[in-house]
Amino acid sequence: MKNMFKIAVLVLASAIAQGAQAAGDIEAGKVAAQKSNCFTCHGQDYNTPIDPSYPKLAGQHKDYLENAMIAYQRGTSGLSGRGNAIMAGQAKQLSKKDIQNIAAYLHSLPGTLVVRK
């Protein structure tokens, strides 16, 4: 009985670790965001963009960020695509893992986004 409990704990720990890996690596996301120079438009803290029309990214929902970057990769020609010349160029250089990692990093940052008023 004790061995079955140990096995169950190991299986659960493994599943959690795999889920965390699929969720994105925050440190790798920080490196990828810096390499891509995201701060140039969205601000050093990703919360103070250089133009008010640019979105604040700090604290944004991870799945929203992933979907937005994938949509920029698709451009206006793809289903659910987004058209923005700057973001299209930036997003096309990113791998799926880069997108997951960047989204995890930006989501982890403190932000001033308001969910409800």
In this prediction, residue 117 carries a pLDDT of 62
Give the distance, in angstroms, between the CA of residue 22 and the centroid of all CA atoms in the same chain.
12
* Identity of the residue numbered 18: Q
Q: Tens of pLDDT along the chain (117 residues)?
A: 566 656 655 566 555 544 444 579 999 999 999 999 999 999 999 999 999 999 999 999 999 999 999 999 988 765 667 888 899 999 999 999 999 999 999 999 999 877 666
Contact 100, 21 (CB under 8 A): no
Q: What is the 3-state secondary structure (H, E, C) of 49-69?
A: CCCCCCCCCCCCCHHHHHHHH
Q: What distance in Å separates the CA atoms of residue 98 and residue 104, rounded to the nearest whole number? A: 10
In this prediction, residue 116 carries a pLDDT of 66
In this prediction, residue 18 carries a pLDDT of 47
* Structure token digits, residue 39: 């701060």
Q: Which domains does the chain have, with CATH numbers?
A: 25-108 (1.10.760.10)
Contact 24, 101 (CB under 8 A): yes
Q: Is 60 left (phi over 0), alpha (psi -120 to 50) or beta?
A: beta
Measured at the CA of 93, the angle between CA 88 and CA 96, to 5 degrees, comes to 100
Contact 87, 94 (CB under 8 A): no
Q: What distance in Å separates the CA atoms of residue 86 and residue 22, rounded to the nearest whole number? A: 27
In this prediction, residue 21 carries a pLDDT of 47
